[in-house]
Structure formats: structure tokens, C-alpha cells
Amino acid sequence: MLKRPSSSDSPAQRTLESANADAARISLAQRGLLAGAWAILKKDLAYELQNRETLVVLTVFSLVVVFIFSFAFDLAEAEAKRLLPGLLWMTILFASVLGFSKSMAFERRGDALSGLLLAPIPKEAIFLGKVMSSLLFLLASELVLLPLFFAFFSIKASFTQMGLLVLVLLLGSVGLAVVGSFLAAICQVSRQGEILFSLGYFPLVIPILIAGTTLSKSVLETSQIPPGPWLNVLIAFDLIYAVVCLWVFEYVVED
């Protein structure tokens, strides 16, 4: 129970004191949050540079999928332009499953997760760090994926088109990384975590799939962002999920 402040304090002083205390706590927490997230990101990057588990898998997977799609569909340019947005986002979704489902699972090895949770940083920092590292790996694989798609389907795109497409991919990937990291944290609790992940992931990211394909399509056809709320859908999804997942994350990893 909270202790009631003694009656000798004036109400104004009490308000000031509690406001100061709040401000100090918030700034400390924020510093801890960003510094902690940065530390997690650095740790994941260092691990990845040594083992190259995620990046190699993601890149090779992207290659395989582009290869198979271009075989299976064997498209003329006009058709390719119509189908490319859907194929591109499907590939990104599947690649992200490979990348994200491991991002938390490998913390179970040697019970590394307990170590992370004991670290003197806010729990949210772990989540934020995981989102950043997942996002970085996903973007890296998209960097390989995008040129391949254009080459294999022989689609010509102008500079503006590429720029806008990159913007759309970036916004979509942020949402994918947020939802993916949250779900990865949930699923690592179970022994069949990676199977669970792929079941739970797709229904949650359907809004990104719809907005992402619609935007990409319009960018490729008219080289501009279409009228309508699509960009806002992506931004809203990213923000809403970032806030909610950050908030419930501490319950997910609670002991």
C-alpha cells in the first residue's frame, strides 16, 4: 500500500515533489530503455556476425523463392507487373517467419534469456532491441530480394518508383518486426515454438499484407502513392502495435 504523505507538507509542495520524482523516473527509464535496446541490438549483431545464421538463411531462402516463382509463373512483363506486389510481399512474409521465429528461440540455449531478464535494463528494452535487430535482418534480406525480383521478372522501374517502393517496404517491415518479435517472445515459451509462430503470425499481419500490396501495386503502375489511407494504415499499424506490444511484453517474459 502507498503511504499517505504527512499532513504537514503543503499540497503545492507535495505536487511539486511527486512531479519531480516522476520526471526523474521517466528520464531514467527512457535512458535505460534506449541504452538497453542498443545493447541488445549490438549483442544480436555481434552474434550474427560470428555465426551468420539468420542472414545466410534469409538470403538463400529469398533466392530460392524468386527462382521458383519465376519458373512457376513464367510471366510476360505486363502480367509480372500485376502479380509482382503480391509475390514480393508473400516472399517477405515467408522470409520474415524464418528470421523472426528464431530471434527469441535462440535465447533459450543455455538459458540466455534468464540472463537478459536479469540485466539491469527495463524489460521493454529487450523487446525494442529485438525489434531493431529483427528489422535490420529483414531489411538486409529485402535489399537482396528486391533487385532479384526486378531482374527475374524483367521489370523496369524508375528512380521514383524504387524510392517509393523502398519507403513502403520500410514501413511494412517495421510492423512485421514489431508483431514478429512479440510473437517470437510468446512462442519461445513452448517447445514447439517455431511451429506455433507460423500459425500465429499470418493472421496478425494481414493489414500489412493488404496495405503493402495495394501501395506497391500503385507505385509500380502509376509511380505514385495512391489516394486513400494506405500509407496511414501502415503507419497506424506500426504505431499501435509498437505501443501495445511494448506494453504487454513485460507480462510475456514475467517469471
Partner 1 sequence: MARWRIQQIFWMATALLLLIGFYLSFLYAPRERVMGDVQRIFYFHMPLAWNGFLAFAITFVSGLLYLRTRKLKYDLWAAASAEVGLLFITLALLTGSIWARSAWGTYWTWEPRLTTAAVLWLMYAFYLILRSYIENREKMRLIAAAYGIVAFINVPIVFMSIRWWRTLHPVLIEPTGLKMETPMVLTLVVALVAFTMFYVLLLAQRIKLAQAEESIQAMKEQLKEA
Span 137-196, contacts to partner 1 by CB under 8 A: 179, 182, 186, 189-192, 196
Q: Which DSSP string corresponds to 12-55?
A: HHHHHHHHHHHHHHHHHHHHHHHHHHHHHHHHHHHHHHHH-HHH
Q: How far is CA 7 from the centre of its chain?
A: 50
Task: Give the whole-angstrom CA distance, residue 83 versus residue 205.
Answer: 20
Task: Give the whole-angstrom CA distance, residue 199 versus residue 221.
Answer: 33
- Name which of 109 and 191 has its Cβ closer to partner 1: 191
Give me 249's grid cell. Answer: 511484453
Tell me which of 157, 207, 231, 235 binds partner 1, using CB under 8 A. 207
For position 211 contacting partner 1 by CB under 8 A, the verdict is: yes
3 state SS of 194: helix
- Name which of 162 and 209 has its Cβ closer to partner 1: 209
Q: Using CB under 8 A as the criterion, what x/- string covers residues 227-246 for binding partner 1?
A: -xxx--x--xx--xx--xx-
Backbone angles phi, psi at 156, to 5 degrees: -95, 135
Among 35-43, 55-63, 139-147, 225-233, the segment contacting partner 1 (CB under 8 A): 225-233
For position 86 contacting partner 1 by CB under 8 A, the verdict is: no
Among 32-40, 59-67, 135-143, 200-208, the segment contacting partner 1 (CB under 8 A): 200-208
Number of residues that bind partner 1 (CB under 8 A): 34
Alpha-carbon torsion, ordered 103, 48, 63, 146, to 10 deg? 90
Chain residues binding partner 1 by CB under 8 A are 179, 182, 186, 189-192, 196, 199-200, 202-204, 206-207, 210-211, 214, 226, 228-230, 233, 236-237, 240-241, 244-245, 248-249, 251-252, 254
